[in-house]
Structure 1
Amino acid sequence: MTSRSLTSDNDPAPARLTVGIVSAGRVGSALGVALERAGHVVFGVSAISDASVHRARTRLPDSEILPIEEVAARSELLLLAVPDTELAGLVRGLASAGVVRPGTIVVHTSGANGVTVLAPLVEKGALGLAIHPAMTFTGHDEDVSRLANACFGITAADEVGYAIAQSLVIEMGGEPVRVSEEHRTLYHAALAHGSNHLVTVIVDAVAALRVALSGPGLLGQQTVDEQPNGLAERLLAPLASAALDNALRRGQSALTGPVARGDADAVAAHLEALEAVDPKLAAGYRALSLRTAERVNSHPNLIDLLEGK
C-alpha cells in the first residue's frame, strides 16, 4: 500500500482514508461515526430502508447516500456491514461488476465469516479483512460509546493484514483480538451462545416473575404488566448483573442455588411450578439445569431427575 497505508515512516499518525459503507444499518453507521472520529472521511453510504436512511442522515450527516456500486468504486476503505446471509452474494456482485479498485481495503463485520468470503475481491487486488465488533447494537447513541469497551474479532490473510486491522480497531477505541480463519465459526457460536441465549434466559425468568408477582401489590407499588423495565425486571436486575459479573470474574465457582447444591427436591418443585406457567419455559429450565448439574458434577439423583429417568 502506498498513499493509502495507515501509517508512514515519517508520520506515525494514521493517514486519512476515504471510507464508503455498505450499508448504514446499526453496525455500519456506528462504525462510520467511530472512523470519522479517528480522522477518516466517510464520503458515502448505501441506505435503502427508511431506518437506514434516517441513521445515515443523523449519524453521518456529511456523507452522501449513494448506490452501492458508486460507494465501492470511490472507497479506499470499503466497509461491508450487511447481514451474514447477504455478505457472500454482495461480494460476488461487486467482483463481477469490477467496481472495487485494486488496493482497496475491504472490511466486513460478519462474526461468522473470516476472510475466505472476500476471495472474489481479493483475487482482483483488494485487501480483505474481517473485523467483527463483539457487542450487540441497538441503533441508539449508546452504540458508539460502547465501542470503546468492546473487543473486535479480527481475521486476516497475513501479518500485514492483521497489522492494518489492529490499527483500525485501536483507532475506533476498541480492543483487537486475533481469531484464526479455521476458528471463526467456533468464535461466533460462543458469542451467540453467551449473548443471545442469555437474553432468552432473562426474558423467560421475567415471564415467570410476572406471574409470581401478579395480584395486589404493596401501597404505591407499580402494577405488574407486560411492559419492559417493570417491577419484575427491577427485581431480577441486581441478581442477574451480579451473577454475570461473578461468572466473568470467578468462573464456575460463581454457581450457586439448588442445582449447584444438588437439591433435587427444590429443583423438582421448580419444574412443577414452571410447568404450570409454560411447559416450554419449564423445558428450558430443565435443559439448563442439566447442563449446570453436569458442569458441577452434581448428585446423581438430581441428574436422573433432569434426564427424566
Structure 2
Amino acid sequence: MVHTSGALSLDVLEGARRAGAEVGSFHPCQAFATIEQALQNLSGSTIGIEASSEGLRALLERMAEDIGCSYVRVPPEGKVLYHAAAVFASNYMVTLVDVALRLLERLDIERTAAMGLLSPLLRGTLANIKKPGDPSGIDRTNSPR
C-alpha cells in the first residue's frame, strides 16, 4: 500500500503494515491545480520515495522512471524537511507573486498585465537559480545568511 503525501510518514499505513502489507510513499514534488495540469506537468518531476522494503523501493523507483520522472529517497526522519522545502519553493513563491501583483495593482496595472510584466522576470530568476555554481542565483546583498 502506497500513499502520495510529501509530509506524512509511513506510520499512517501502520494498520496495513500490521496486516502484512509492504508500505511506501510516492510523492510527486509538483504543484497540481487540475487533473489536466497534473497530466501535463508530471513527466520531468521528481518523486520522493520512502518504502518499508528494498523490493517495494525498487518497484517505486522503476515506476518513477516509467512515467518520465527522477526520484529521491526520503528517509523517515527527513519527511518534515523534505515537505518544508517543497512548501518554501512552491507555496511561498505563489504568495510572493501575489504580493507583487497587488503592489502593481496599486499602480493601476491590471492583474493580467502585471503578470505579463512579472513572467519574464520570474523565468529569468528561475533560470539563474538553475545555473551551476551558486545555487541561489540571487544577489546575496539582501539575503539572510
Q: Structure 1 residue 155 and structure 2 residue 50: aligned?
A: yes
Identify the residue that residue 234 of structure 1 maps to in structure 2. 116
Structure 1 residue ranges (4+ consecutive) displaced by more than 2 angstroms after TM superposition: none
Q: Structure 1 residue 244 and structure 2 residue 126: aligned?
A: yes
Check whether the contact 1:151–1:174 (CA below 8 A) recurs between aligned residues: yes
Query: 2:118 and 2:41 mapped to 1: Cα distance?
Result: 23
Question: Which ranges of structure 2 fall in alignment gaps of 5 or more residues?
Answer: none
Identify the residue that residue 203 of structure 1 maps to in structure 2. 98
Check whether the contact 2:22–2:53 (CA below 8 A) recurs between aligned residues: no
Query: 1:225 and 1:157 mapped to 2: Cα distance?
Result: 51
Identify the residue that residue 137 of structure 1 maps to in structure 2. 32
Query: 2:122 and 2:61 mapped to 1: Cα distance?
Result: 33
How many pairs does the alignment contain?
143
- Quick one: which amino acid aligns to residue 248 of structure 1? K
Q: TM-score, normalised by structure 1?
A: 0.44
Query: 1:140 and 1:233 mapped to 2: Cα distance?
Result: 23
CA RMSD of aligned residues (A): 1.7
Query: 2:67 and 2:28 mapped to 1: Cα distance?
Result: 10
Higher Cα radius of gyration? 1
Q: Secondary structure at the match of 1:153?
A: strand
- Quick one: which amino acid aligns to residue 125 of structure 2? A
Q: Structure 1 residue 164 and structure 2 residue 98: aligned?
A: no
Check whether the contact 1:114–1:156 (CA below 8 A) recurs between aligned residues: no
Q: Secondary structure at the match of 2:23?
A: strand
Deviations 1:40-94 (A, max 9, x none): xxxxxxxxxxxxxxxxxxxxxxxxxxxxxxxxxxxxxxxxxxxxxxxxxxxxxxx
Offset of residue 145 of structure 1: 2.3
Query: 2:56 and 2:48 mapped to 1: Cα distance?
Result: 13
Check whether the contact 1:134–1:191 (CA below 8 A) recurs between aligned residues: yes
- Quick one: which amino acid aligns to residue 198 of structure 1? M
Identify the residue that residue 44 of structure 1 maps to in structure 2. none
Check whether the contact 1:148–1:173 (CA below 8 A) recurs between aligned residues: yes
What is the 5 A alignment of 1:19-168?
106-168=1-63
Identify the residue that residue 255 of structure 1 maps to in structure 2. 138
Question: Which ranges of structure 1 fall in alignment gaps of 5 or more residues?
Answer: 1-105, 215-223, 261-288, 296-309
Query: 2:122 and 2:115 mapped to 1: Cα distance?
Result: 10
Check whether the contact 2:47–2:64 (CA below 8 A) recurs between aligned residues: yes
Offset of residue 114 of structure 1: 2.4
Check whether the contact 1:110–1:131 (CA below 8 A) recurs between aligned residues: yes
Offset of residue 248 of structure 1: 2.6
- Quick one: which amino acid aligns to residue 135 of structure 2? G
Offset of residue 140 of structure 1: 4.2
Identify the residue that residue 184 of structure 1 maps to in structure 2. 79
Identify the residue that residue 280 of structure 1 maps to in structure 2. none
- Quick one: which amino acid aligns to residue 76 of structure 2? E
Offset of residue 210 of structure 1: 1.7
Provide the identity percentage. 30
Offset of residue 244 of structure 1: 1.7
Offset of residue 172 of structure 1: 2.2
Offset of residue 211 of structure 1: 1.5
